[in-house]
Each structure stands twice: as structure tokens, then as C-alpha cells.
Amino acid sequence: MADQIVHEMIAAFSVGCMDRQNFVQFKEYMQQDGELPEGEMGELQNIVAMIPIILDIEKPHPSIKDKVAKRLIEIKDEIKAKIASERKTVATSFSKTFTAPQEISEQVSFKSTKPIGQTFGTKLTNINLQQTKSSKDEFAEYLEKRKTKLQTQEGFTPAPLPPVKEDTFESIRKEPEPVSPQKPTTKIEEPIETEEVKSTSWLGILSLIISLLLFTILGYFGFTSLNKIYNSIDDLHQEINSMKSQLNAANNFVENYNALVEFFNYKDISVTNLQPVNDSLQVSAKLLLSFNEKAGLIQFKNPKQLPSGKVYQLWAIRRSQFVPMGIFQPNGSEYLRITQFPPMPKEQIDFYRVTIEKAGGAEFPSSEVVLTSK
């Protein structure tokens, strides 16, 4: 490493603005017992530790707050829309998997539409007709057998049998009519119908209870998951706000104190406080000088707004010799570069002074002295 690169690395490491690649290289250089300027890192770290004393607290512009609040509201709306879409997908999937219980009684279908008593009566009449028919055939067969038996016997002449009347068959046919088939059918069927109705009602109640239990369980888990999501969203909002505040602070520091960060690369730095000559004045200043590099910075605090055609001028005074170091028109607490550095060494300068002069500066300081170092 060259000397200039080593000085830059030490300054960047002390300030804390070194990237990863340079940090790795600098660490390897130190681990390999690389040569470092004696005491330079300690001095720079002491100066960096004094930065909070030098800096002033500045409030951000109100427009920045409005932009940040608007962006946070947009992020919140995006998260809400995402949660609503997730709810819709969960609801559709749940409606597809679970259907409402159907009434079981609608599925029951009766095959016969005729009354039970009528069908039972028709069956009984069919049975009676079959019985009469079978008894008539048996009686005719008996007569034929008897006739043949008598003919086979010798000298026997069968006596004519009286004709069989149809009334006998009709009386036999009419005998089972007094039986009433409707009474037993009603007594047997009534308890069956009530049992079927009771079973269907109990099944409907059980299905309703099960569906309610499922809905309550799903609602509980959905509620707990939504609470976790909202808590995580709040945590993310807090992290975003803290990161944005840190980023804004870093950007403001880099923008406002870029000259100060570059100034830390120099070897010897001296800090001089300039105080007002009159107690009624609230203005003050800090003077940072590096005589080896012939560079310097000045920071005005609470500067008085000067009329047009007037400027602040810095002087280095050595006995009766006045050396101008530049003219300034500060607008805030930024660090301004010194355009004219004194040619004499630091030990020969007695004190510093700031006066109010005309635009363009003057060769000798006027009587309007504002700040002095002694």
C-alpha cells in the first residue's frame, strides 16, 4: 500500500464509512503487521468522538414527513388488500370442501302409492279365489275316482249324484269376506313411520351440531392467525420507521458534512473556537485547520443575516500583520472551505478574527469585529 492509500484507509476506518472489500483488505494488511503511522488512528478516533459536540440538531423539512407518511399509508393499504385476497381464497376453498347438510327425508322415496289397506285386501281376495278354485278341482277328481271304482265292482249300478250347485262355491268364496285387513295394517305401520321421522330428525340435528363445531374451530384459528399477522405488520412498521430515520440521518450527514469527512483524511488537524466579542451577539464559529495540507474549514453557528453588499471575512493575525483567509456568506451551520491559507506556520499565528466587510473583501480589517479566538 502507498502512504496516501494507508492514510485514506485509516481515515475511513476511523469514521466508519469503509465498504466491505476495503475493510477486508485493511484487516489483512493489519494482520500481516503492515506499517501504520504512529498515533494517527487514535487522533482521528478522538476527533470522530468529538463530532456529536460539533454537530447541531436539525429538523427535517415538513414535506419529507408528508412523503414518508403518504408512503406508509400506501404500504398499509397494500398489506390490507393482500390480507383481503387471502381471506377470499380461504373462504372459497372452505365452501368447496364443506357443503350444507341435506335433509335425509328428501332422499326417502316410497315405491307404492296405493293405501296399505287396499293392497292387503286385494292380496286376501286373491288367496280366497285360489282356495275355492283348488277345492272345486279336488271335488271333481273325487267324483271321477268314485265313479270308476263303482264301475269296476260287479252288479253295482251307481246312483246318480245330485248336481253340484255353484252356490256352494260362492258361499266358500264369500266366507273370508268378513275379515277386515285394514286394522292390523294401520297398527303395524304407524310405529315404523314415527321411528323413521325420529331417526331423520336426529341425524339432521347431529349434522347441524358438527357443522357449528367446525365453523367455531375454523373461526378461532382464523382469528388467532389474523392477530399474529397484524402484530407482525405493526413490528414491520416500527422497523421501517426506524430504518428510514437512520437512513435520513445518514443521508443528511453525508450531504451536509461531506467536506468534513474528506477533511479527516489529513494528518494534523487543529480545532479553534471563535467567540463573539459582544455578549449580545449569539453568533459563534469553529475553525478546523491542517497546516501540512494547507487546508481548512469554518462553521458558523447562528450567523447574523447581513445586508446586501456585506460579508464575513476571516483574518489570521501575527503581531501587527493581518493575513486574510477568505470571505464567507453562511446560510446555516454547514462547513465552508477556507480559500486563502496563511503562509506562516501555526506557531507564529497569535489569534484569529472575523469582521464584517464589504463584498469582495478588504486588505485590512475594519472596526466591525464579530468573532475572535482570544
Instruction: State residue 195's pLDDT score.
Output: 58
Q: Where are the domains of the chain?
A: 1-49, 115-179, 264-374
What are the per-10-residue average pLDDT scores of the chain (374 residues)?
Answer: 77 87 86 84 88 80 86 92 89 63 41 43 46 53 64 52 48 47 46 59 86 90 88 90 86 69 78 86 86 86 86 88 88 82 85 89 86 84
Rounded to the nearest angstrom, the gap between the alpha carbon of residue 343 and the centroid of all alpha carbons in its chain is 64
Rounded to the nearest angstrom, the gap between the alpha carbon of residue 369 and the centroid of all alpha carbons in its chain is 62
Contacts for 188-193: CB closer than 8 Å, 24+ residues apart: 189/116
Instruction: State residue 194's pLDDT score.
Output: 55
Buried b (16+ CB within 10 A) or exposed e, 203-222: eeeeeeeeeeeeeeeeeeee
Cell of 122: 286385494
Q: Where are the beta strands (DSSP E) in 302-341?
A: 310-318, 321-328, 335-337
Cell of 19: 465498504
Instruction: State residue 129's pLDDT score.
Output: 46
Which amino acid type is present at position 183?
Answer: K
Using CA atoms, how far apart are residues 7 and 265, in angstroms rounded to an integer? 6
Q: Are strands 295-301 and 284-290 parallel, antiparallel or unpaired?
A: antiparallel
Distances (CA, A) of 24 to 13, 27, 125, 264: 11, 5, 113, 21
Cell of 334: 454547514
